[in-house]
Amino acid sequence: MKIQAFARGRIARNSTKKKRERSLDSEEYFKYERRGLKIEPRVLRPEVKFPRGSTYSGEWRGERRDGQGIHTWPDGTYYEGHWEDDKANGQGTLVRSTGEVY
């Protein structure tokens, strides 16, 4: 049992060491570009109105909210902050129509 744990630990340490030795210039580091996947830049667009009456004004990446923006709901509640992959993510403030701040 102890031998197996030692072997697993050694393999993990060697793997971590190899990752650290790779330079940021290596082709392996930029594997997404090699596969042909392009990361779209963030774009600031005019205010968008959604079918249920809410609006979003801020940055987009493709067809998803991504970056800084403000989403306002019809009842007056709004979220101002960071968005990632079409979801509120990171630092931001949600202010309810009742005045509660989160």
pTM of the model: 0.61
Q: What is the mean pLDDT of the chain?
A: 81
Q: Do residues 69 and 59 make contact, with C-beta atoms less than 8 angstroms apart?
A: yes
Q: How confident is the model at residue 11 (pLDDT cuts 50, 70, 90)?
A: confident
Q: Whole-angstrom Cα distance, residue 88 to residue 65?
A: 9
Q: What is the pLDDT of residues 79-102, one digit of tens each?
A: 999 999 999 999 999 999 999 999
Q: Say yes or no to pLDDT of 40 above 80.
A: yes
Q: Do residues 12 and 20 make contact, with C-beta atoms less than 8 angstroms apart?
A: no
**Both structure tokens of 81:** 């902050």
Q: Whole-angstrom Cα distance, residue 29 to residue 18?
A: 13
Q: How confident is the model at residue 34 (pLDDT cuts 50, 70, 90)?
A: very low
List strand residue ranges (DSSP E) for the chain, in order.
43-49, 55-61, 64-72, 78-84, 87-95
